[in-house]
C-alpha cells in the first residue's frame, strides 16, 4: 500500500468501514474514530469535507464497547498491517 492514500482509496476504505459497522454507536467509538483519524492523516490531500460528517462532538465519544468482532478495530488493524506499521504476529 503506498504511503499516501488517493481520494479513491480513502473513499473505498471509509465506505467499507461504514458498511461493516453494525451499530449506530460504532461511529462515536474510539475504535472507529482512531481509524478515521489515521485515514485522514494518510490521505494524499486534505479531505476535511469527507471526514467532518463523522467527527462527533467530544461529549459523545466513548471508549470501545467490547464488541467481538469489532469491525472498525478489525479494519484499522488490517490497514496498519497492510502498511507494515504493526507486527502481524501481535494481532
The grid coordinates listed for 9 are 482509496
Q: How much is the pTM?
A: 0.84
- The tens digit of pLDDT for each residue in 2-61 reads 578 999 999 999 999 999 988 888 899 999 999 999 999 999 988 889 999 999 999 999
For residues 45 and 36, what is the distance between their CA atoms, to the nearest angstrom?
15
Measure the CA dihedral 35/36/38/39, to 10°.
120
- What are the helix and strand counts (H, E) for the chain? 4, 0
Residue bearing cell 475504535: 31
Amino acid at each position: 500500500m503506498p504511503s499516501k492514500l488517493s481520494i479513491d482509496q480513502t473513499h473505498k476504505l471509509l465506505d467499507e468501514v461504514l458498511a461493516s459497522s453494525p451499530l449506530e454507536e460504532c461511529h462515536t467509538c474510539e475504535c472507529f474514530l482512531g481509524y478515521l483519524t489515521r485515514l485522514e492523516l494518510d490521505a494524499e490531500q486534505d479531505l476535511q469535507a469527507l471526514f467532518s460528517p463523522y467527527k462527533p462532538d467530544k461529549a459523545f465519544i466513548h471508549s470501545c464497547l467490547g464488541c467481538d468482532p469489532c469491525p472498525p478495530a478489525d479494519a484499522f488493524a488490517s490497514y496498519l498491517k497492510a502498511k507494515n506499521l504493526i507486527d502481524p504476529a501481535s494481532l
